[in-house]
Structure 1
């Protein structure tokens, strides 16, 4: 019992310490935080690693413990991480590779005991411009990162023929089509998707986009199936392959829609619902009560919007006089026509509804009460 109480106390204190730590909003605050937060063995690894390989010193690219367990920088720079530091870098004109910027800054701090923030920003602003210049031509250039990019399916065959010798091609010919594609999807298939820039964009991905094929897995699948048929002197039947993937995604959309219709049908006017707090809490007190099972928000459906799968709910019960949150744009991604990039909204907006008031909600925000 004492051990349980001790563990609970430690967890409680850890949570409070974490809550009190403010998220860094510039590089100087980043390195000061990391200096206190980062274990010594990981500091040594970061300090002694070349700047081009720093991302391999921590999660998600590190392969061994304790490095692969250190998630602080990833948590800050991921989609729902630390909006302060990511917005800070975005405003400086650094839109990509935020993790690299933070790791490089920390490396400089570990070496020199301080950082020259302006110099670091200048370095990565220049790097960003170089990336942008590459992106402008990536859909027309024949080489990206010193790798030749095929222009079409036939060109893919030419390149694969240069990779594989006659004995490998002879072995490939003996395999059944599905067996071959299954064997190489994660190996050579991954190489194609990464190096031929099917994820990042290239003239080859544009070739497939023009065929209405958009997922890199589908692109590499078509390449592999077509190459196997090419080796075996069979018809490639490209149109048939394209239609297969188009039908797959169309059927997926239909199944998703069918599921939404079935789920939405359970929400009827007059039903009493229980709120799921998926958008967060209006106060720490409300969150604590919810965690302890003593905070319930209930509402009654007054209208239904079947087209958009929305329900209008009158809030009849809540444990906080401030009501409940029905909208929070934190984590949303919007397109900025000025920078021509997608990113977080410039300002966080939270909307609430109070008891005895009505508001439209996504039906998934509420659960039906049996």
Structure 2
């Protein structure tokens, strides 16, 4: 009898201990994410929630569907036009997340884990996005420094050469900082090279958001468009100095 009582006491202690641990685990979910979960509970069809719950997190066929489906709904209706939008975005900003796409992805990943009684591992999710943006932010910073240097180097009336990458439709393109580098290799047979004279230089809203207006003196490929616009010898065009184009 004593052994049974001791066993029951131990069992009760284990039950209480597990309950405390579980409660603590639930308390680790920030209130902003809890609000997001409640929003999804109310605004997403139950059958869709059940389907979402039962997908595997590594299923390569689902991210696009949810990013442009419920993900877009979250970005437009929860993160932008909701009474809690400011609190939610301030929360994400405070942990280093500044892009709405990343916010909605974290909400959905956390919700999926929550539905499956898993730890949401918020910090791990945040670290992934911070690591992704780090080289891009560094690239953008370097690009602004390069832009200001060029802006200060040249004056109105100066002649310069500009080499530009050409993509599809025989049109000049510019590359974002998605690969974290300012370099690309010029291909004379395909890419555009022009000589031009600076007719104006200016900035918009910021000392680092700087532009040149250039009158074209010659083009190595006369038929090539610039950013889908037809620009011929003798024409002027405006462009930002925060660019992958090579300006010399």
TM range (shorter): 0.3 to 0.5
TM-score by length of 1: 0.32
TM-score by length of 2: 0.46
